[in-house]
Each structure stands twice: as structure tokens, then as C-alpha cells.
């Protein structure tokens, strides 16, 4: 199956700092990248969708200036949580899509103290 990596797998940061999460599709080209967020004991909620070289489209209620998404290439996308607050603590999962199939990264556990 397709290989998707996320880095870091876990990160703890102080309130007010920014955190960058990288997502790489290692053996295929992702024309579209989805970013999901999952709070404890809840389902995955779609945050935003991006196509390579284009601006991301954010879901209702997700602040685009707080969650910066860069989809610079067909194999790399980054999510930057700016000025993180404790309520941003969550499990962030990237999901690259190639035509016909959607894959999921292993997730990044963000804890903001």
C-alpha cells in the first residue's frame, strides 16, 4: 500500500508558539491533500483541502490565518498551527489523495501547554 509519513509524531509546545507538521507521500503523487483534526474520543473532522500549487479551502469554523497550509509539491504538504493555544491540542492527520484513492498519515499528537 501507499506510504504516508507525518513528522513529528508527537509535539509539545508552549502556548503562543507555532508548530509545523509535515506530511509526505513517499511513493505516489498527491494531487489533493486533506487535513483532519481529531479530538479525544471523537471522529475526524475535515479542516481544509488543498491542491498542489493552490490556496487551501478551509471548512466552516476553521481559521485560515491560524492553520496555515502549504502544498508546495505533489509529495509534501505542511500544516502550521500559529500562536497555538491549549484548545488546539489534538491529533492532526493528513490525508493525501491520488486519483481513485485516499490515504492517511499516521497522525501528529499536538499538546499545547
Partner 1 sequence: SQQGEEDPQALSIQEGENATMNCSYKTSINNLQWYRQNSGRGLVHLILIRSNEREKHSGRLRVTLDTSKKSSSLLITASRAADTASYFCATDPFSGGSNYKLTFGKGTLLTVNP
Chain residues binding partner 1 by CB under 8 A are 1, 32, 34, 36, 41-46, 49, 91, 93, 95, 97, 102-107, 109
Q: What's the min distance (Å) between Cβ of 44 and partner 1?
A: 5
The nearest distance, CB 16 to partner 1, in angstroms, is 26
- Cell numbers describing residue 25: 507521500
Please say which residue, 16 or 106, places its beta carbon nearer to partner 1: 106
Query: Least CB distance from residue 49 to partner 1, whole Å?
Result: 7
Q: In terms of DSSP bridges, do strands 108-112 and 10-13 run parallel, antiparallel, or are they unpaired?
A: parallel
Q: Whole-number minimum distance, CB 43 to partner 1, in Å? A: 5
Distance (Å) of CA 67 to CA 5, 64, 98, 106? 19, 5, 23, 19
**Maximum Cα interatomic distance, the chain, rounded to a whole number of Å:** 40
Are 105 and 40 contacting, i.e. CB atoms less than 8 angstroms apart? no
Q: Which CB sits closer to partner 1, 88 or 107?
A: 107
Amino acid at each position: 500500500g501507499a506510504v504516508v509519513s507525518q513528522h513529528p509524531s508527537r509535539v509539545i509546545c508552549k502556548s503562543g508558539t507555532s508548530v509545523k507538521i509535515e506530511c509526505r507521500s513517499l511513493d505516489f503523487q498527491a494531487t489533493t491533500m486533506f487535513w483532519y483534526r481529531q479530538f479525544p474520543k471523537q471522529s475526524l473532522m475535515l479542516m481544509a483541502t488543498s491542491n498542489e500549487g493552490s490556496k487551501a479551502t478551509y471548512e466552516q469554523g476553521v481559521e485560515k490565518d491560524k492553520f496555515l497550509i502549504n502544498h508546495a509539491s505533489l509529495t509534501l504538504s505542511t500544516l502550521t498551527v500559529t500562536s497555538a493555544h491549549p484548545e488546539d491540542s489534538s491529533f492532526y492527520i493528513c490525508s493525501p489523495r491520488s486519483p481513485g484513492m485516499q490515504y492517511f498519515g499516521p497522525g501528529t499528537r499536538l499538546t499545547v501547554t
